Amino acid sequence: MKKRNEILIELLDCTLRDGGYINQWNFGKNDIFAIFDYLQDAGIEIIEVGFLNDKKEPDKNKTINPQTKIFDEIFINKNKKSMTVAMVNYGNCKIENISKPNFLDGIRIIFKKHDIKEALKYCKIVQEKGYKVFIQPVSITTYTDDEMLDLIEKVNSINPYSMSIVDTYGLMHKNQMTHYFKLMEKNLNEEIKIDYHAHNNLQLAYSNAIDFTNLKTNRNIIIDASLYGMGKNTGNTCIELIAMYLNNNFNKSYDLDKILIAINNHILKYKNETNWGYCLSYFISALNNCNSGYVDFLKKEKFDLISINNILKKIDREKKLIYDEEYIKKYALSSVY
């Protein structure tokens, strides 16, 4: 078996797709570009730029569009460093609306259990067009072991880029996630990556993602996450959290400042309108190994998140975990001038 640090772990950001449930995918072209650029500059390996849905009208301000060519047109002048993908909910995008690959490298295809046969035919055609195909069975917790093994056998005949553990309703605990992983690990073709897509209904998305990275495997893996966990209902694994963990434990070098700027400048406005997930402020205190009291004080003093992060970075080591209000008052004021 390979050493754990020899396994390729990649992050897939799904903000522009799953996060679109919060704002009806109406990010606006400027925010779409900014989010995309910050994610690339942060070193995120795969960026999901939206949904393909032919029931929708073309709109370059939105990340839900009827044809792949619309995404080609939206991003026509963008330099690309990350892999780019879009998602199809099987039945919502006719195959003729998927052109040969241009801007998009891959298509993620989600489907319900009763659609397996026809959905996998669709996956095969998309693959033949030249796309990396990510196969994503909706709500994997509804599959028995026999049903999952049958699906895996069918998936092997296609040999896609990836197959996902999709916890659509955020129901999984560690033992369930591990069980489905082991079924896939043992039975999938060895070159197929395993992806984990969590929702945070039980506040386990991050902890399960950590456990996912530490499973003993020869398999290359992908973890889905989004900026500030922005996503349907309770949201997703927070990319700032899992990126921090991978930096600290797997010698990754994601740029957390770029991620925080993207959140501060382009995501917080939606958080203020529709609440989801956890509290970012306390992530920043944890990121900097600081007492959360410093964040509370700085927020009351109207510092924005980027400023708070920069202040906490520079607090004296011996002061970080022992809250000293007089110290932070002086330090915060001196950082302004």
Domains (range + CATH), the chain: 4-271 (3.20.20.70), 280-336 (no CATH)
pLDDT-derived band of residue 337, with 50, 70 and 90 as boundaries? very low
CA distance 44 to 13: 7
Q: How many CA atoms lie within 13 A of 209 on its CB side?
A: 30
Q: Is the pLDDT of residue 1 over 60?
A: no
Task: Return all residues near 215 (Cβ < 8 A) that are at least 6 apart.
Answer: 178, 181, 185
CA distance 7 to 16: 27
Using one digit for the tens of pLDDT, what is the confidence trace for 300-313? 999 999 999 999 99
| Token pair listed for 152 | 């895996």
Q: DSSP label at 214? A: T
Question: For residue 75, what are the CA distances in angstroms to 30, 56, 102, 103?
Answer: 11, 19, 10, 7
CA distance 238 to 254: 14
Cβ burial, residue 251 (10 Å; 0-12/13-18/19+): exposed
Using one digit for the tens of pLDDT, what is the confidence trace for 258-302? 999 999 999 999 988 887 777 788 889 889 888 888 988 999 999
Question: For residue 110, what are the CA distances in angstroms to 8, 51, 119, 322?
Answer: 24, 11, 8, 48
Longest dimension (CA), the chain: 66
pLDDT at 5: 52
Check residues 315 and 155 and name the one with the higher pLDDT: 155
pLDDT-derived band of residue 68, with 50, 70 and 90 as boundaries? very high
pLDDT-derived band of residue 147, with 50, 70 and 90 as boundaries? very high
pLDDT-derived band of residue 171, with 50, 70 and 90 as boundaries? confident
Least confident of 18-27, 38-47, 176-185, 288-297: 288-297
pLDDT-derived band of residue 336, with 50, 70 and 90 as boundaries? low
pLDDT-derived band of residue 322, with 50, 70 and 90 as boundaries? confident
Check residues 46 and 169 and name the one with the higher pLDDT: 46
Regarding pTM above 0.75, the answer is: yes
